[in-house]
Each structure stands twice: as structure tokens, then as C-alpha cells.
Structure 1
Amino acid sequence: MSIALSDTSTTAAHRYVMTFVCEDRPGIVHAITGAIVAVDGNIAESRQFESGDSHRFYMRVEIVTAASLEEVRTALAEVIDRFGLEATIDRVGRPLRTLILTSTATHCVNDLLYQASTGNLAIEVPLVLGNHETPARFAEFHGVPFEHRPVTSAEEKAAFEDRVREAIVEHDVELVVLARYMQILSPELCADLAGRCINIHHSFLPGFKGANPYRQAYARGVKQIGATAHFVTTDLDEGPIIEQEVIRVDHTRSPRELMALGQDTEVRTLRQAVGLFAQSRVLLDGSRTIVFR
């Protein structure tokens, strides 16, 4: 059994979001809703899914109740134990503490910081870590601390990753976002961040790797470009996919225009993936995700 809790709200009516994952069996929904009724909770939103591949049950519920978080927890404790539920309970809209890693490309980190500052994205960024100094001005503009640590050797890479681990503990980080951080994380750090690290990369049809992918795409006359946001795993760029977007292009687009369109797509895709995760709408089902929109 695992359950994550947040601070209670001071208002008379609280809105909580809950997620539940377990082996599928009869009676799960009935038991959960019964516990909600026991605290005079009103279900504002509910989604559920049974995976035919893994035979696991997934559920996300938002409720409104005058009960405290501790009272809701107490009401659900017996159900969680009985069904062996992996459960989380949180306050709807609570900003998720998010560490951003970045390199020279600034379009994604700038958008995340802007969206967080306006309240459009439910994240709180205590620190931006970069292996180049380029993004520093954007962090400074948004009032977010920035640290530059070069990664030009194996020793510097290990030191950077050690700093990531320190920052996670120091700032109680719940999510790490690779906002075009152009370094491959070590298998050890990937394991440490399993299920809570999101990456963004371009996704062309066909795909192009290496330097100048947009110029390669131009040379091949691609008709679609896009972006993929996914969880980071030890398999490079092959983690469970959270969000994807594809747009059509044609022969009239220059390499510079393709890059501009591609970067705009990356920004939107990453923003959407982070937002879905922050709202507890993304649950892992093996090598894929269950996304309750």
C-alpha cells in the first residue's frame, strides 16, 4: 500500500483528486465510492479503465467535501488495504514541485516558466539546472534560481547528476522535466527518477537523428513534423508516451521555418504532458500510459 497526501485547504469545501491502481477484481468502484459517501463527498469527476493486457484497474476521481484530508484518508484506509490499492490523494490545483533541466535551446524552459508564473500550469519551479548558461536570463526574468554546471567530461556528468539528486531532496521535488536537456541520463539516475521524469523530443516521419534534424527533414521533403513527450527510461527516447502532436508541412517550408514550427510543437506538447501529470491524469501501465483527459 502506498498513499501520498497534501496539506488540507482552509476553506469549508475542499476539492481533492484521488488515483487508484490495483489488480482488477469485482467491487473496487463500489468500495471507493462508498468511502467517499462516508465523508459526505460529492464526485465531481470520475474516470476508470481496466487494461486488458495487464489486467490492472485504473481510476481517477475528483471529489468535493467538507471533510479534511485526514478524514478522507481514514475513510479510504480499509478499502486501500482490502484491494491492495496504490493510491494518491491530493488537493486539486496544488502546484507540483518541479525541477527543470535544460541546455542551450530555450523555447521549452521559457514556456514552462511563463506558464507557471501565470498560473496556467500547476507547477512550482524552485530551480533550473543547465549545462549551459544560455537559459539563465529566462530563469532570472521569471524570478527562478538558475545553476550552471558544465558537462564536458564523465566526471562533470556525474557531478551534475549528483546535484540533481541533491536538488530533489533539498526542494522536495516531485517531477523532473528535461526541457531540451541534451544529455543522456545515466541508467542509475533514470532508475531513481522512474515515473517522475518527462522528456520532450522532435518526432519526424521518417525520423532523423543527430545534428540538424530539421535540415535533414528539409532535405528529405517531409510532410509531417511533430513532437513526443514521454517518461524517461534507460531506453533512449523510448519511454512510455504521455503526449504527441503532429502537424503537416510541405515543400514551401525552409529549414528555418521547419525549426520554428517544430519548436512551437515541442512547446505545446511538453506543456500538455506536464499539465496532465500535474493534474494526476497520467498513470503508468507497463511500457505505456493511461491518460485520463
Structure 2
Amino acid sequence: MILALSCPDRHGIVAAVSAFLFQRDCNISDAQQFGDAATETFFMRVVFEPVEGDAPEAIRAAFAEVGDRFGMDWTLRGTEPRKVMILTSKFDHCLADLLYRWRIDELPMDVTAIVSNHPRNQIGHVDLGALPFHHLPVQASEKAAQEAMLLKLIAETGTELVVLARYMQILSDDLAGQLAGRCINIHHSFLPGFKGAKPYHQAHARGVKVIGATAHYVTADLDEGPIIDQDVERISHRDTPEDLIRKGRDIERRVLARAVRYHLEDRVLMHHGKTVVFGD
């Protein structure tokens, strides 16, 4: 099981968590912690194996006392795969990469559906297999209806995480609000620079020496959500905008995959518009 928590920093938190797990004869296999001096907030992630027969519900109920005592914001869940819906448009590299990593068991998720604003035959060369596919076209006059259909699909499938794998549509404030903390986007530039259309062309025009990609949680503020992961690559004056796009595709897919995995493994804790990410 995985315990993730944040709370006001004070003495005794680690001792209390460790004592609780010891008293239930749990075996801790990994533990990470961080105390943020600026906000006086403590963060912790613990992976442990409960004794056989100790039900998750019973552990959660018992831990509530510890959580209340320290004013914790906490989650405690098993390591079972989480339900994920992937939204995409015509660019297929991030979608293909996520599905490949899922098929080789690198990403602990159950794919509930692939959703696109384009027909299936327009989404590159991705092998979707038997995965459910939903074509939900977007027109300005019917965007609210399309998003209502999407929310209904998310609810019906029990989707826990929505991934925007180069889904080239801006979510409404209402939809972004309803998906707060459970919707990840990949932005093909190194935020906060070069927002909007053709970021690589913008970067080329400015003569930048590095390009990058940013994976973040979606919020109502366009491309301003809490950042989960970023990466960069050095470039030179010899690189054309097309070279930047080619190199950018590689950065985008690895950054998105890493961010999705961190979320699925409860490695990301949000606080005051930022994230604490416990890496491998």
C-alpha cells in the first residue's frame, strides 16, 4: 500500500507514522519525506506491505486518528492499477508512447477509453487494439454539450485520471475545475515561455539554446497549472524549426510518461499551486 500525506511541520510525525505501521506489523519497503521550511509544511510518502488479512479499509479507519492528530491531508490506497482515460487529437507520438509503456507494464493503469475530437482514422498510426474509442467532435457552438458528454463518459467508466496526450483543445473553466488534480497536460515548450501556437517557431525566432516540455495539472488558468515534470535538450543555430519539432516530440513523450507514472504511483503532492514530487 501507499501512504501519501502533507501537514503542518512539527516534531513526531515520522515517529507517529512509523509506530502506527509497526504496531500493525507492516513492513516498510520505501519511505521519502520533505520538510518545506518556507511554508512550514511536511510531506511524506511511504510504501508498505500490510500483514496478510489486514484489510485496507481497516487500516484507513485506524490511521484516521493519526491523521487528525497532526492535521494531515492524506491518502492511503493499494497498488492496484488506476483507471485512466487518454484524450488526443491528430498528433500520435504521446498516445503511442503511453500505450506502449502500458502494454509492457511500465505504467500501472487500466485504460478506460481513448477520446478524440477527430475520427479514429485520422490519428496517425497508433494501434489501439480493442480499446474503446470515442469520437467527440468539438464545435464552438456545441462545446458545452461535448464536454458534458466527456464528463458523463468519465463518470460511467470510473476514470480516475484524464491525460491530455496532445489534445489540441482548451478545456472550459468548468471542466478544468471538475477535473482539478486529476487531469494532466503536456505542453510542447518550457513553460512559462512560448505559450500558444507554434512554440517551436517562437523559440527558433528568439534563438534559444535549449528547448523543453512541461507536464502539469490542468487548471482554469491556461498552461499555468502545478508543474509535475519538465525536461530540456540543447540545440544550436544549425537547428531549423522542423529540427526543434522533431527533438521536441521526444522530450514531450518522455516528460508526459514520467508525469503520468508519478501520479499513478502517488508520488505527487500538491501544495499552494506547486508540487512536491518524490522521484524514484
Answer whether contact 1:102 1:182 (CA < 8 A) is retained: yes
What residue in structure 1 maps to residue 113 of structure 2? Answer: 127
CA deviation vs aligned residue, 1:4-34 (integer Å, no higher than 9, x gap): xxxxxxxxxxxx1111122223322222111
CA deviation vs aligned residue, 1:222-280 (integer Å, no higher than 9, x gap): 31111000111111111111000000011222322211110110000000000001000
What residue in structure 2 maps to residue 144 of structure 1? Answer: 131
TM-score, structure 1 normalization: 0.87
What residue in structure 2 maps to residue 38 of structure 1? Answer: 23
- Determine whether 1:86 maps to 2:73: yes
Distance in structure 2 (CA, Å) of the matches to 1:115 and 1:207 = 29
- Shift in CA distance, 176/36, structure 1 to aligned 2, threshold 3 Å: same
Match of 1:63 among 35, 44, 48: 48
Match of 1:260 among 227, 246, 252: 246
Equivalent residue letter for 1:287: G
Match of 1:173 among 159, 165, 185: 159
- Shift in CA distance, 82/37, structure 1 to aligned 2, threshold 3 Å: same
Match of 2:216 among 230, 238, 246: 230
What residue in structure 1 maps to residue 12 of structure 2? Answer: 27
CA deviation vs aligned residue, 1:195-216 (integer Å, no higher than 9, x gap): 1111111225993344433334
Answer whether contact 1:205 1:225 (CA < 8 A) is retained: no
Distance in structure 2 (CA, Å) of the matches to 1:137 and 1:253 = 27
Answer whether contact 1:39 1:75 (CA < 8 A) is retained: no
Distance in structure 2 (CA, Å) of the matches to 1:224 and 1:188 = 35
- Shift in CA distance, 287/210, structure 1 to aligned 2, threshold 3 Å: closer
Q: Cα distance, 1:125 vs. partner?
A: 1.1
Answer whether contact 1:54 1:285 (CA < 8 A) is retained: no
TM-score, structure 2 normalization: 0.91
What residue in structure 2 maps to residue 161 of structure 1? Answer: 147
- Determine whether 1:49 maps to 2:37: no
SS of the aligned residue for 1:121 comes to: coil
Kindly tell me the number of residue pairs found equivalent between the two proteins: 275
Answer whether contact 1:36 1:75 (CA < 8 A) is retained: no
Answer whether contact 2:92 2:124 (CA < 8 A) is retained: no
CA deviation vs aligned residue, 1:79-136 (integer Å, no higher than 9, x gap): 12322322211223x2221111111111111111121122111121111111112238
SS of the aligned residue for 2:83 comes to: strand
Equivalent residue letter for 1:135: I
Which structure 2 segments of 5+ residues have no match?
A: none
Equivalent residue letter for 1:35: F
Distance in structure 2 (CA, Å) of the matches to 1:57 and 1:272 = 24
Equivalent residue letter for 1:264: D
SS of the aligned residue for 2:46 comes to: strand
Q: Cα distance, 1:51 vs. partner?
A: 2.3
What residue in structure 2 maps to residue 73 of structure 1? Answer: 60
SS of the aligned residue for 1:18 comes to: strand
SS of the aligned residue for 1:141 comes to: coil
Distance in structure 1 (CA, Å) of the matches to 2:65 and 2:183 = 31
Distance in structure 1 (CA, Å) of the matches to 2:192 and 2:32 = 35
- Determine whether 1:200 maps to 2:173: no
Distance in structure 2 (CA, Å) of the matches to 1:91 and 1:142 = 28
Answer whether contact 1:101 1:129 (CA < 8 A) is retained: yes
Percent identity (aligned): 48
What residue in structure 2 maps to residue 10 of structure 1? Answer: none
- Determine whether 1:184 maps to 2:170: yes
Q: Cα distance, 1:289 vs. partner?
A: 0.1
Distance in structure 2 (CA, Å) of the matches to 1:206 and 1:58 = 26
